[in-house]
Copies of this chain bind each other. A is one copy, B any other.
Amino acid sequence: MAGNSIGELFRVTTFGESHGVALGCIVDGVPPGIPLTEADLQHDLDRRRPGTSRYTTQRREPDSVRILSGVFEGVTTGTPIGLLIENTDQRSQDYGEIKDLFRPGHADYTYQQKYGLRDYRGGGRSSARETAMRVAAGAIAKKYLQQQFGIQVRGYLSQMGDIRCELKDWDQIEQNPFFCPDADRLEALDELMRELRKAGDSVGAKVTVVADAVPVGLGEPVFDRLDADLAHALMSINAVKGVEIGDGFAVVNKRGSENRDEITPEGFLSNHAGGILGGISSGQQVIANIALKPTSSITIPGRTINKQGEAVEMITRGRHDPCVGIRAVPIAEAMMAIVLMDHLMRNRAQCNDVKSDVPRW
């Protein structure tokens, strides 16, 4: 099937280019009867929006989303929800000079070779601007999960360059432009950002996403495991190069005796597994990490070729984030919420009648 959809039962399909007329998406499969307004979506869109701090691109987009269908008298009807964000600050002239060359580390080359042509304005479809629609769609999932099941999906910046940010305080996250849960790291982050701006360079990041109150039983073995679907959804975010569930790559040099999560009548004693066993949620916190590469949109000159295959040197002008990982936090939350929502519906379809006397915590 064509590649712009995600989810089976809660199904999100997006369209739109960075500098096209508009971005849009269709969210199909939303349960009926859920109160929903544009404001519900705007909150997360504003968290992702460019131009909100000096650390992100200065492109100024209000990113105002309109609900075009699927909501009647303030409540979802069960029919597909059409969403639209019109592009306003497009400044295509910024991009004329990259029309005929391939920015290294970007999708310019691969789009050109796959499709035989490309919309070069701001990366066209390959721009992370597309993720605005994911955030809007994810907000619908988040609202349903929270309201019907008390499930909360939250993310934070867990590392930027060498600076690690521990989860000290969830509340801190919304109070700084880094989504950093550790106030003691803010100064260091600010310093790194200023250094990068000066150097015209960028840096990678790690983002952690956590879902609380996920019921046991979500995930469809064998292939559509909850962890496999999370890996798919998170790896589909622009610039992501790695995905971990629970302890992730740290398990490589662990022993079974330390890594297994023992169980007592009061519950699990640890959560190395990140809340997923055999592809199915265990009722613990679901935890995932993603690694985001440093953007290649930097002002340090780099070598590349043009369409004729000639060597050229280029720098990326335009408006770019020195660390794209920051704004990835609401995107990663959205993707996890979409996956959980989809699996909640899938589980309900097949296992609706299941009852169990076995303890859950």
Contact = CB atoms under 8 A, between A and B. Distances in A.
Contacts of A20: 68-69, 72
Contact of A358 (B148, B242, B280, B307): B307
Interface in A206-259: 206, 216-217, 219-225, 227-236, 238, 240-257, 259
A205 B32 contact: no
A188 interface: no
A131 B6 CA distance: 24
A287 to B, nearest CB: 11
Interface residues of A, number: 163
A168 to B, nearest CB: 20
Interface in A110-164: 110-119, 124-126, 130, 148, 159-162
Nearest to A297: B256
A269 B304 CA distance: 10
Copies of this chain present: 4
A64 to B, nearest CB: 14
Interface string A64-91: 0011111010010111111010000000
Contacts of A10: 2
B82 A261 contact: no
Contacts of A257: 201-202, 298, 300, 302
Contact of A115 (B206, B302, B354): B354
Contacts of A84: 22, 24, 68, 84
Contacts of A247: 241, 293
Interface stretch (A40-48, A55-63, A99-107, A173-181): A99-107
Interface in A249-307: 249-257, 259-265, 269, 272-274, 277-283, 291-298, 300, 302-305, 307
Contacts of A240: 227
A217 B255 CA distance: 41
A218 to B, nearest CB: 8
Given A72-B117, A77-B119, 10 more contacts: A3-B346, A20-B69, A104-B260, A107-B221, A109-B216, A115-B351, A126-B221, A162-B253, A227-B241, A244-B249
